[in-house]
Structure 1
């Protein structure tokens, strides 16, 4: 830790163990990013990201990297919500997620919510690289402010690529200092919980799910390639999770 904040990276590597399971030759956490292997299910290895400290705080730069090899199956969750907080160090905090899934690999990325607390400044960048028939479930949930407080400044960008071709590239900025209209009827419409679910399945090449509404503030949209995007707004994290969980059950 320095006056500029904490720098820490957590790294995960998953490989087919040749016996019908998945091994984890790399499971390395730093500072506030601790990794724990939990009980696996069938051929799937499961890892829990455990926050060992508060944050990210102003000036922190945290990163999580995961690589899934051919035939390996990995599921990553987190033990609790991540809360972006203002810190003693000036400047925004950064949180980078870098995911790489090989042909025939499968990744389920299902962390708990990210909460943008009042006074915080956080930039989140998530980049997913898929190859061949890689399979993906990627869930992202963000809550603007804790109960009774205004949100901090949150900028989030998600990029998903398959064999070098973009399936999705989008960015959203919310909170104080964000471009005008972020809380208006054309964007969040006063809601404080927002989320998205990206599902990539080779079988979608032959039968793509039909675009449809999943409620007043949620929709399923097919993407170019074997992928779909579910976006949702909700008044709180509980309702948001219920919508996204229902969509995931339908898609998988």
Structure 2
């Protein structure tokens, strides 16, 4: 299956965000829902199972100057096996203009047994743009070993490289479960925050959550591993909260600060 989708957002003269373009094909169906604060919220709705090995999917997102967009998915994506030797691919290409804001907060990608999946994200943030970008990977469904999954994230800020991150798990990635990578954790994720209004934060590590300030811009990367998807989301939600206030714990749960 081949499918493409496109989202283009613009701000009007009153500062309200409107969608100039919103189109998709199954399984990349885009649906706008009610939002407050002058921004827009769009959900990616899976119109079919998968991605299945052999699928080629692409989503383009353009956030114009002053626009505020939140992109979510209605459920986790489960990468599944398909025809022998085939690989499923998902490409997300994003541009965030000056004074624009994008919250990219999809549900988890689950690498089911036997899958072969590559997810690429190419993000270009202009000077003065704001980006919250979350990735979460679950290594197999309950009680199974994962198939092969590769996640590549490239983020440029003001035309310069900011982040180049790649993770591979599964039978074609030797050592992925060892101490140098996931150390046996079945859930892993990251949250990148690019925000010109935030002060710089020092590096910090607490348990399996790390906060890493990035060179070349007002940006911080949180990474985490966890025993399950719920705990992983708790860690990354805590990291997102600490973007506004540092230190301590929230509801008894660890927050890096």
For normalisation by structure 1, the TM-score amounts to: 0.94
Cα-to-partner distance string for 1:177-217 (whole Å, 9 max, x where unaligned): 11x2111011100001000000001124xx2012112x311
- Let me know the Cα RMSD of the aligned residues: 1.0
Q: Which runs of 4+ in 1 moved over 6 A?
A: none
Residue matched to 2:222: 230
Residue 243 of structure 1 aligns to a residue whose secondary structure is helix
Preserved contact between residue 15 and residue 67 of structure 2 (Cα < 8 Å): no
Alignment of 1:180-199 (within 5 A): 180-199=174-193
Shift of 1:132: 1.2
Shift of 1:89: 6.2
Residue matched to 1:3: none
Preserved contact between residue 199 and residue 227 of structure 1 (Cα < 8 Å): yes
The separation in 1 between residues aligned to 2:202 and 2:172, in whole angstroms, is 37
Alignment of 1:35-114 (within 5 A): 35-88=30-83, 90-114=85-109
Q: Does 1:15 align with 2:7?
A: no
Q: Does 1:218 align with 2:209?
A: yes
Residue 247 of structure 1 aligns to a residue whose secondary structure is helix
Residue 251 of structure 1 aligns to a residue whose secondary structure is coil
Preserved contact between residue 59 and residue 89 of structure 1 (Cα < 8 Å): no
Aligned residues: 243
The separation in 1 between residues aligned to 2:130 and 2:58, in whole angstroms, is 22
* Gapped regions of structure 1 (runs ≥ 5): 1-5
For normalisation by structure 2, the TM-score amounts to: 0.92
Cα-to-partner distance string for 1:83-136 (whole Å, 9 max, x where unaligned): 000113641100111110011111000000000000000011011101110000
